[in-house]
Amino acid sequence: MRTVAIAGVGLIGASFGLALRNAGFQGTILGVSSQRSIDQALERGAVDRGASLEEAAGTADLIFLSQPIYGIVETLGKLDPMVRRDALVTDAGSTKTVIAEAARRSLTRCAFLGGHPMAGKELRGAAAADGELFRGRPWILTGELDHPVARVLRQWIGLFGAREIILDPETHDRLVAWGSHLPQVASTALAAVVGDQSPGSAQVAGPGLMDMTRLAMSSFDLWGDILDTNSVAVGEALDAYIARLQAIRADFSGQFAKGADFAKGLRKPPTSA
Amino acid sequence: MRTVAIAGVGLIGASFGLALRNAGFQGTILGVSSQRSIDQALERGAVDRGASLEEAAGTADLIFLSQPIYGIVETLGKLDPMVRRDALVTDAGSTKTVIAEAARRSLTRCAFLGGHPMAGKELRGAAAADGELFRGRPWILTGELDHPVARVLRQWIGLFGAREIILDPETHDRLVAWGSHLPQVASTALAAVVGDQSPGSAQVAGPGLMDMTRLAMSSFDLWGDILDTNSVAVGEALDAYIARLQAIRADFSGQFAKGADFAKGLRKPPTSA
């Protein structure tokens, strides 16, 4: 792997570039993004230079798509005539079914490995990039795991300190509906309703309200695509959450015990690598 | 203020003792609690020695009640014949209306100042005590603010780095229903429903799910009393949250904007001291 192209040099894309550098990658990293993002990424050392999609895709062994989901779908639609035949396209989109379908439809000349590093923070953009962002985090992979470039990428992911998890796109999307998208919607609705109905609660805010509203700072620019491309699974999770909130008054004690069990289990170190 | 009695030497009680010491308090600190809690608090330097309620209440200028809410109510019922006439009783209970009523009913011989430091962590007990627990946090006060011991206590609270906020008990309980109790119930229900319906989501858990389930580790031993003594206001907040979750699918974009506004506002430094 000599040349990596990163399309969409935001928080995740620039953090991928930095993580590669931190882990010892000595090849060239090209960034395909707005001039502002390229400038920020250059300043952070996350890319070597900006390039057009055509130039980057034409030279890269690995093409890493880290745009919002529909941006990834759009790029996949343009990429096929540009790529090297031995290249691998991968991505960092937060849902996988729609992207895997787009790749199947669009990419005929090279391989695709869907990816989803479960990492992020409330700050956006290359200026907030962090080469340690992926350490200890799951990195879901789905697709052509044994392609030569995929094997190399998986070694780098291991060097980032991330935990590789292999899932089919539908299973991934169902698991993140519950484990990522529902928490986001729960946080957004909580912040919105407290802000509307009891803004004075801000003056008595303890660490609990801060935890529960951190996700609410997320941008709809990203989340609109996520919720739109996983609406069935998110709808099911949301319905179940509403039903649980309706039932909880009759069984505070039992739900506290259940909730504490699951929450404490989440904090145990994973049993497998 | 020469002698302080702390009844209920758990996380908050022992942190109060440590915070007094860190801020330079040189008097005696007596702990009224189980032998195990007293041993832990002694090891942390949070109290000077254990004592019976009768002995502690009979010598203290300030009596700090940091038990679960119904424990505070029970102690208030026993305290009146024991106290010095110039003493002040204060507390750290998470709801204030029921406690203020109990104090009005029970305390005839000395003064009462209700209190609620908005601080905590998922660990319990004196072993987890932290003299910096109150720094930067609101500390709500309600009652006899101008009593001589109250004036001294308020100076110490300032030295802890906490922000004094004066509220009547009913306003306090309504603000914390939205800002503290609703977030707790939202976290508990989320952890319980994900644990029941999609336990496999644990393997893809990112920082969002961790934030949103931290409160769910809280113990029902504490929260049973809180929810029971604030059930009307919590019920209203919970109904509004459920309604917002039902409505959010039709307006993700608007709710993201609202939620982000409130969440970002929470993170601005307070404008008044």
Residue A1 has pLDDT above 70, yes or no: yes
How many Cβ pairs closer than 8 A exist between chain A and B? Answer: 309
Co-location of B160 and B175 in the same domain: no
Would A23 be classed as within a structural domain?
yes
My answer on whether B138 and B244 are in the same domain is: no
pLDDT tens digits, residue range A119-128?
Answer: 887 778 999 9
Q: What distance in Å separates the CA atoms of residue B183 and residue B155, rounded to the nearest whole number?
A: 31
- Say if the Cβ atoms of A262 and B184 lie within 8 Å: no
Q: Which of these, B17, B67, B25, B65, lies nearest to B43 by C-alpha position?
A: B17
Q: Using CA coordinates, name the residue in chain A closest to B258.
A: A192
Q: Is the pLDDT of residue A13 over 60?
A: yes
d(CA B51, CA B9): 12
With CB atoms and an 8 Å threshold, state whether A215 touches B211: yes
Q: Please tell me chain B's helix, strand, coil percentages from 3-state DSSP, rounded to the nearest 5.
A: 55, 15, 30
Averaged pLDDT, A58-83: 98
Query: Is residue A273 over pLDDT 70?
Result: no
Residue A179 sits in the same domain as residue A121: no
Residue of B nearest to A184 (CA): B208
Which residue, B257, B41, B80, B14, is CA-closest to A220?
A: B257
Q: Which residue of chain A has the CA closest to B140?
A: A204
Q: Mean pLDDT over all residues of chain B?
A: 95
Pairwise CA distance, residues B195 & A179, whole Å: 10
**Domain boundary residue, one of B132, B167, B202:** B167
Q: Is residue A272 part of a domain?
A: no
Contact B43, B10 (CB under 8 A): no
How far apart, in whole angstroms, are the C-alpha atoms of residue B273 and residue B154? Answer: 13
First CA to last CA distance, chain B: 25
Query: With contacts defined as CB-CB under 8 Å, which chain B residues touch A174?
Result: 198
Residue A258, classified by CB atoms within 10 Å of its CB into exposed (0-12), middle (13-18) or buried (19+), is: buried
Which residues in chain A touch residue B261, judged by CB atoms under 8 angstroms apart? 195
**Cα dihedral sign, B50-B70-B91-A204:** positive
Residue given tokens 């702390």 in the structure block: B6
Tokens describing residue A6? 């990163």
Mutate to test the interface with B, among A164, A252, A261, A268 (most CBs of B within 10 A): A252
Looking at the fold, whether B143 and B204 belong to one and the same domain comes out as no
Per DSSP, helices labelled H in chain A are 11-22, 35-44, 53-59, 69-79, 97-106, 148-159, 169-176, 182-197, 207-214, 220-228, 231-248, 252-266
pLDDT, tens digit (0-9, with 9 covering 90-100), for A198-223: 999 999 988 899 999 999 999 898 89
- B139 beta partners: B117, B164
State the residue range of the domain holding B156. Answer: 3-167
According to DSSP, residue A94 is labeled: S
- Same domain for A178 and A72, yes or no, is no
A241–B190 C-beta distance less than 8 A: yes
Q: Between the CA of residue B114 and those of A127, B12, B108, B121, B147, what are the distances in Å? A: 46, 15, 15, 21, 12
Helix axes A35-44, A11-22, angle to 10 degrees: 30
CB A6 within 8 A of CB A31: yes
Residue A271, domain member (yes or no)? no
Whether residues A97 and A181 fall in one domain: no
Residue ending a domain, choose from A138, A167, A196 = A167
- Band of residue B269 on the pLDDT scale cut at 50, 70, 90: low
Q: What is the pLDDT of residues B12-50, one digit of tens each?
A: 999 999 999 999 999 999 999 999 999 999 999 999 999
Sort out which chain B residues have CB atoms less than 8 A from A140's CB and list them. 204
Q: Residue A166 above 80 pLDDT? A: yes
Specify the length of chain A in residues: 273
Measured between beta carbons, the chain B residues lying within 8 angstroms of A165 are: 203-204
In 3D, which of A168, A11, A18, A39 has the Cα closest to residue A96? Answer: A168
Tell me which of A152, A167, A182 is where a domain ends: A167
pLDDT the model gives residue A114: 98
What is the CATH classification number for the domain harbouring B246? 1.10.3660.10
B189, B124: one domain: no
Give the model's pLDDT for residue B55.
98
Q: Which of A6-37 are b and which e, b meaning 16 or more Cβ less than 10 Å from the residue's Cβ?
A: bbbbbbbbbbbbbbbbbeebeebbbbbbeeeb
CA A58 vs. chain centroid, Å, equals 25
How far apart are alpha carbons B138 and B164 in whole angstroms? 6
3-state SS class at B130 = coil
Q: Which residue of A has its CA nearest to B205?
A: A179
DSSP lists the bridge partners of residue A111 as A88
Q: Residue B145: how many CA atoms within 13 Å on its side-chain side?
A: 9
pLDDT at A271 over 70: no
Q: Is the pLDDT of residue A270 over 90?
A: no
pLDDT band, very low/low/confident/very high, at A59 (cuts 50, 70, 90): very high
**C-alpha to C-alpha distance for B115 and B12, rounded to whole angstroms:** 12
Assigned domain for B273 exists: no
Residues B137 and B191 both lie in one domain: no
Q: pTM (2 decimals)?
A: 0.89
Q: Which residue has the tokens 């044994």?
A: A146
A4: its two tokens: 């990596």
Find the CATH number of the domain harbouring A161: 3.40.50.720
In a domain, A232, yes or no: yes
Residues A156 and A212 in one domain: no
Amino acid identity of B12?
I
pLDDT for the residue B270: 56
Domain contains B272: no
Residue A105: CB atoms within 10 Å: 12
Instruction: At B87, list the tokens.
Output: 């003493």
| Within a domain: B21 | yes
DSSP assignment of B6-59: EES-SHHHHHHHHHHHHTT--SEEEEES-HHHHHHHHHHTS-SEE--HHHHHHH
- pLDDT by residue (tens digit) across A43-58? 999 999 999 999 999 9
- The C-alpha atoms of residue A191 and residue A215 are separated, in whole angstroms, by 9
pLDDT, tens only, A72-121: 999 999 999 999 999 999 999 999 999 999 999 999 999 999 999 998 87
Spatial contact of B184 and A207, defined as CB atoms under 8 Å apart: no
Chain-centre distance for alpha carbon A272:
22
Q: Is A31 in the same domain as A9? A: yes
**What total of structural domains would you count in chain A?**
2
Are residues B231 and B148 both part of a single domain? no
A143 phi-psi bin (left φ>0, alpha ψ -120 to 50, beta other): left
Same-domain status, A158 and A201: no
Give dist(CA A111, CA B85) in Å, integer.
83
At A272, the pLDDT band (50, 70, 90 cuts) reads very low
Q: Which of B214, B259, B265 sits opposite A188 (nearest CB)?
A: B259
In a domain, B271, yes or no: no
